Structure 1
C-alpha cells in the first residue's frame, strides 16, 4: 500500500521544475546520487572497444590475507572524480587521491577507523559550498562514513579535515544503545547530500540479536555538522501512522530496518529516497506481528526536514531477508499517454521491478496484492499477501521445486532431487521452517546492492542477478549447536544465534555433493529490460566457470559460460556499452547494449565486485574498476584499481 502524506500536495509545484532541471541537478551534485550508473561519454564505443587496453594499475596496500575468518572483506568502492582527482575509498576507509591519467598517488587521508568484521567502503559523497569564496578551504568537501560510526568532512582538494565541521572535522554519530561488539553499527555506504544537508545511513549487523540497534537515518548540516533531523524506519512513537502496522509494543523491542545501501537524491524536489531493510531478526517475526512499516520499503523524505512525503513497502512482515538492497534509479520515463514522468525505479532481492512517480509516490504500473504461502512455525504469522507489479518482467525465477533440479551427471541430478524433496519448497515468499525451506530467489537475491544501470536514449535498464537458491532452517535454540566463531562464506552453512529469538537460523546454498548448484544455470545473469515497453530485451549468463573446474573439457563439447554468483553493478555509456565486473572469473566485460553480445573482456587481478566508472581526462575516456574480490565468495583477492583507455 502506498501512503502519501499531506506534504505531497506541494510536490506538484515542483513537478515541472524537476523534469526541466534534472540534467542541471546531475551536473550540480555527485551523479552517483541518481543511481543510474550512466556515463554520457562515447569516445569508447561498440566500434572500437576491442582496442581497449590497460592504462594503469594502482595498489592500495590493503590486500586481504589468504585465510579470513569472522570477517567479510570486499573492495566495493565506486571511485569518484572530484576536483581533478580520482578518489578511491579502500576497505579500511582510507581515501587515496590519484591522478586520473596516470594512477599516481597525490594525497592520502587515513581516518584510522577501528578494524571490524565488515571491511568495505561503498563510496563517498562530494558537496560544493556555494556560499564560500572560490578556492576557500573546504568550499569543496568530501563526506566519508567510518567503521566507528562517524561522519568526516574533508577538503576535496587537499584531503585535510574541515576544522569547522563537528569537532575538528568529525561528527561522532549517536547510537540508541551500546554495541555488542565493535562494528555492530557502521556507516558503510556513501552519505547522501540534499541541498546543504548530509544524510547518513548505517549497516546494522544482521541476526545478532532481536533487540538490535536502531537503523535510524541521521542528517547533519553540511557546513557545521550540527544535527538537523533523524528518521527511524521502525516507528517509535504511537502517533506515527506506521506504528499501527506493528503489534502493540513490538516496535520498541526491535531494531534494524536500516539503510545499508546507497540513497538517491532529487535536488529539485528536496527529496532523499531511502531503501530500507528488514527489521530484526531477519527470519522469525513471531514477536513483531504485522506488516512492520517503514521497513523493507522505499521511503521518500523531505531532505531539509526529514519528514515523510511518501512510502511503499515491498515486503510485508519481512521474514525472508528480502531487503531493499540497491540504490533507486531516478530517471525521466516516457508514459503511454506521451507524458514524461520523473520516475523512481526500484530493484529488489525478489527480482521484482517497481516504478513510481518519485514526486508523489504514485505507482507507474498496477500493483496487485497476491496470496502467498503461510508459515508453519509456532507463534509466527506470515503476511497473507505480498505486492506484485503487474505487467512487469521478473529478473529471477520466482519458485523452486524438486522438478527444477539440475546436475552435471544423472547421478548428481538424482541426488539433488532427493535433497530438495527433504525441504519445504514452493513459490516466492514461502516462509522459513524447522524442516528447512528452499528460497528462490535466495536470501541474497536476485539483484543486490549493485542494482541496475539505465540508458536514457533507449530506456533500457541492465541488472545483474544471482540465481542459486538458498536453504533457510529455523532450529529450536535448545537443539542448536553454535561454534565460538562463524565463517562468513557463500559456499557453506552459516549459523546465526539471534540472541533473544526462540530459534537459531541456518542459511546455506542448495548445492550438490559435487559442490555445484542444484539449480539450473545460469547461476548469475545479466538482464536488459526496456522500461517503456516493459519487456526483457535480452538476457545472458554472467561469468564463466572454466577457471573453477578441475578439468577443462574442449569448448566444442562444453560451454563454461554458466554464470558465477558475484557482486557489484554495471556501468552504461553513451557509446552503447555495458561494462561490468561482478563475476568470480576475474573478468571485466563490455557488452553491446543492444544485443547482449560480449565485445571485449580483460582479466583483472581479482574479481571486480564493484561498480565501474568512466570519466574523461586529457581528452581521453577512461573506464576504471576496483578489483579486490570478495571473501564471502572465497574469490581471489587483491587491492587493485585498474584503468583502461583506447590504444592509440
Structure 2
C-alpha cells in the first residue's frame, strides 16, 4: 500500500509541476521544459548501482579527422535527447548525430560544415539541441518531428528528427543565418546553448566575446516560426537609455512554461565586465531573470540579481521551474542559482521573491569614473551554497613556507573586502571566481522531496585594472592571465585564477562540491566533494579535493544523483545522504550534463565525455552509456563501487603526506645547493 501511495504522489507531483515527463524520455536539454533534470526512472537504485556496466561507447571521430590545434579549442558539453527512438546530440562542431539507444550505433549524421578557421571566443562547443513536433502535420510527413540547433557560426538549423535531413520549408533550405553588425573577427559571436521551443516559436540566445569593447554587439534574443523560420520578434535584454554598452546576452540555457506561454531568460552582464563608467545605473534587464511572452517577445516581468555588474556575475544557469510548498500553500516558482552561490526563488507569474530578498550595503570605492550600486540583493531564506569571502589565512598549499606562502601573498596583495569588492588597479580578489558557484550545468529539482541539487565550484580570481597608458599595442599579459582591452574605457583588465607554484588552487578544498538543499526549510542537507586529482596529478595521485564543476547533475526516483567532473569518471551519489556510491570510468572527463533513459526495459545513464579545453583536461570525442549488468554478464572493468569512503580519504591523506615529504626533500636539497654555492 505504501509503495502505491508513493507512486501516486510521484505521478501527481510531476504532472502538477507543469512538465509531464514520459517514463522513458529525456526530450529536452534539462530533462523537461523547466530544466528539473529529474527522471521518474528507478530501476537503478543505491542497492544495485554497483552492478552498472558500460553498455557502449560512441566516438564522433573528431579526434581522428581534425587537427590537434583545432581540438585544443573544443569543449564537449552536449547532453543527448531521447526522441524518436534515437539518442540525438551535437558535437562541438555542430554535427548532429543520432544513435541507437541500446547499442550506440550511429543511425544518421548531419554536418553543417563549420569553419575551423573562425576561432570562436567561447571555443567550439554545442551544449545541445531542441526537439519539437508539429501537431498540424500528418503523422508520416517529413519534418513533422524536428531538431533545432544554433551553431558556432550563427545559424539556426532545422532537421527531420527521424532522418537528419534539413527541413526545406524552414528558412533557406533548413537554416537561417543571422544578420549582425560588424564583428572584430568571425568568432566574436556564436550560439552555444540549445534553443527552446514554446507555442511553436523557436527562441535562441547568443554567446559574445567578453571585455573587448564598450560598444559591443547587443545580446539580442531572437525568435522564429518553428514551421517556416520566419522572424517573429527580437528582445534586447538591456535598456540603452543614456548608456554606452552592449551584451546582456543570454548564453545560458533558457526554460519554457508552455501552459503560461512564457520563456524565461537568464541574462548576462553588459559590456565590458569589469568597468561600467559609461553605463550608469542598475543596467536593467541585464543580470536578470526575464520572463517574456513566447509568441510576442513582450516582457512580463524581470528580477535583477546583480545591480550594475562589474564582476562578471552574470546568470550562467538555466532557470529551474518547479512547484514548491510554502506557508501560503503550493506555488509555481522559478529557481535561479548564481555564480555567487545564491539561490533566488521567484513567483512564476510575477517575478517577486517567494521569501524576502534584502538589499545590503556592499564595498564601495570603485576605479576612477565608476558608478557602483551602493547595495546588492541577498536572499534570506535559502543559505548561500558556498563561502563568499576568503582571507589570507584561508589559503591552501602543500608546503607552508613555499606554495602556501605564495598563495597567501597573492591574496594579501589584492583588495579583498568580501563579496562585491570592486575591481581595482591594485588587483581585487573575486571569490567565488567569475566561473564559480553554479555554472551552466544548472541545478536539479526533485518534485517529490522538493530538494534542490547543484554542483558548485570554489576558486579565486585576481582581477586587475590596467590604466590605458600602460597597455601598448604590443602588450602581452603574464602567462596564465586572461586579457581584455575594454576599448572605450580608461582601463584594460587581466584576470587569473589564483594558483600555487605546484599548479593547485590557492583556496582550501573542496574545489568542487555537490550541495543538496531543502527549499521548504531553507536548509542545506548535505555537501559532498566531487572528483579527485587522479587525472591531473603526477603518478595519478587521487587527492580527494574535488574538482571545479561547471556541469550539472541528473537525479532519479531511484534515490540517485549522477554527475561528471574534471576527472574521467561518471559518479553516482545517494540522493538522501550524499554518499558517493559508484564510479564509472570514462575515456576522458565528462564535463557535460548526464541524462538517463529507458530503452527496451533497461535503464541507461549516458554522458558526453570529450573533455574541456579551457580547464586543461585531456580532449576526446565520446558519448558513453552505462546500464545494469544482464544475467551472466561479467562485471565491467570500467565500473567500481565506492563502499569505503573513509578508506579513500585515508589513501588521499597518505598521498598528500608522500608528496609533502618529497617536496620537502627537494626544497632541502635546493637550499643546501644554494648554501654550497
Q: Taking structure 2 as the reference length, what is the TM-score of the superposition?
A: 0.86
What is the rounded CA distance, in whole Å, between the counterparts of 2:471 and 2:549 in structure 1?
Answer: 30
SS in 2 for 1:632: helix
For each residue in 1:197-252, what CA deviation from the matched residue of structure 2 results, as whole angstroms up to 9, or x when unmatched?
A: 1111011111122111110001011111111111001224xxxxxx4xxxx2x1xx
* Residue equivalent to 2:91: 90
Deviation at 1:518, TM superposition (A): 1.8
Segment drifting more, 269-278 vs 70-79: 70-79
- Asked if the contact 2:287/2:307 (under 8 Å) is kept, the reply is yes
For each residue in 1:12-45, what CA deviation from the matched residue of structure 2 results, as whole angstroms up to 9, or x when unmatched?
A: xxxxxx9847144888973443111111111111
SS in 2 for 1:22: coil
- Asked if the contact 1:346/1:354 (under 8 Å) is kept, the reply is yes
Mapping for residues 248-259 of structure 1, pairs under 5 Å = 248=242, 250=243, 253-259=244-250
SS in 2 for 1:97: strand
Q: CA RMSD in A?
A: 2.3
- Asked if the contact 1:482/1:495 (under 8 Å) is kept, the reply is no
What is the rounded CA distance, in whole Å, between the counterparts of 1:203 and 1:507 in structure 2?
Answer: 19
Matched, 1:283 2:274: yes
* Residue equivalent to 2:60: 60
Matched, 1:156 2:161: yes
Matched, 1:509 2:497: yes
* Residue equivalent to 1:544: 532
Matched, 1:493 2:481: yes
Residue 375 (structure 1) aligned to one of 365, 378, 381? 365
- The 1:66/1:480 distance shift into structure 2, 3 A limit, reads farther
What is the rounded CA distance, in whole Å, between the counterparts of 2:475 and 2:57 in structure 1?
Answer: 40
What is the rounded CA distance, in whole Å, between the counterparts of 1:400 and 1:103 in structure 2?
Answer: 46
Q: Taking structure 1 as the reference length, what is the TM-score of the superposition?
A: 0.90
- Asked if the contact 1:450/1:569 (under 8 Å) is kept, the reply is yes
Mapping for residues 144-543 of structure 1, pairs under 5 Å = 144-175=149-180, 177-236=181-240, 243=241, 248=242, 250=243, 253-337=244-328, 339-411=329-401, 412-480=403-471, 492-543=480-531
* Residue equivalent to 1:39: 39
What is the rounded CA distance, in whole Å, between the counterparts of 1:163 and 1:291 in structure 2?
Answer: 44
Residue 562 (structure 1) aligned to one of 534, 545, 556? 545
What is the rounded CA distance, in whole Å, between the counterparts of 1:400 and 1:129 in structure 2?
Answer: 52
- The 1:647/1:304 distance shift into structure 2, 3 A limit, reads same
Matched, 1:644 2:626: yes
Structure 1: tracts of 5 or more residues without a match: 1-17, 237-242, 554-558
- The 1:25/1:304 distance shift into structure 2, 3 A limit, reads farther
What is the rounded CA distance, in whole Å, between the counterparts of 1:21 and 1:329 in structure 2?
Answer: 11
- Asked if the contact 2:303/2:352 (under 8 Å) is kept, the reply is no
Matched, 1:580 2:581: no
What is the rounded CA distance, in whole Å, between the counterparts of 2:220 and 2:477 in structure 1?
Answer: 27
What is the rounded CA distance, in whole Å, between the counterparts of 1:68 and 1:466 in structure 2?
Answer: 28
* Structure of larger gyration radius: 2
* Residue equivalent to 2:578: 596
- Asked if the contact 1:125/1:191 (under 8 Å) is kept, the reply is yes
- Asked if the contact 2:71/2:619 (under 8 Å) is kept, the reply is no
* Residue equivalent to 1:622: 604
Deviation at 1:359, TM superposition (A): 1.5
- Asked if the contact 2:266/2:319 (under 8 Å) is kept, the reply is yes
- The 1:66/1:92 distance shift into structure 2, 3 A limit, reads closer
- The 1:70/1:44 distance shift into structure 2, 3 A limit, reads closer
Segment drifting more, 533-542 vs 413-422: 413-422
Residue 635 (structure 1) aligned to one of 585, 595, 617? 617
Deviation at 1:300, TM superposition (A): 0.3
- Asked if the contact 1:566/1:633 (under 8 Å) is kept, the reply is no
SS in 1 for 2:18: helix
What is the rounded CA distance, in whole Å, between the counterparts of 1:324 and 1:483 in structure 2?
Answer: 33
- Asked if the contact 2:27/2:82 (under 8 Å) is kept, the reply is no
- Asked if the contact 1:19/1:332 (under 8 Å) is kept, the reply is no
SS in 1 for 2:33: helix
* Residue equivalent to 1:14: none
Deviation at 1:133, TM superposition (A): 1.0
- Asked if the contact 2:362/2:421 (under 8 Å) is kept, the reply is yes
Deviation at 1:82, TM superposition (A): 1.5
What is the rounded CA distance, in whole Å, between the counterparts of 2:125 and 2:205 in structure 1?
Answer: 15
SS in 2 for 1:427: coil
Deviation at 1:483, TM superposition (A): 5.8
Structure 2: tracts of 5 or more residues without a match: 1-13, 631-677
- The 1:21/1:442 distance shift into structure 2, 3 A limit, reads closer
What is the rounded CA distance, in whole Å, between the counterparts of 2:304 and 2:458 in structure 1?
Answer: 24
- Asked if the contact 2:287/2:305 (under 8 Å) is kept, the reply is yes
Deviation at 1:340, TM superposition (A): 1.2
What is the rounded CA distance, in whole Å, between the counterparts of 2:206 and 2:548 in structure 1?
Answer: 25
Deviation at 1:472, TM superposition (A): 0.3
What is the rounded CA distance, in whole Å, between the counterparts of 1:484 and 1:55 in structure 2?
Answer: 51
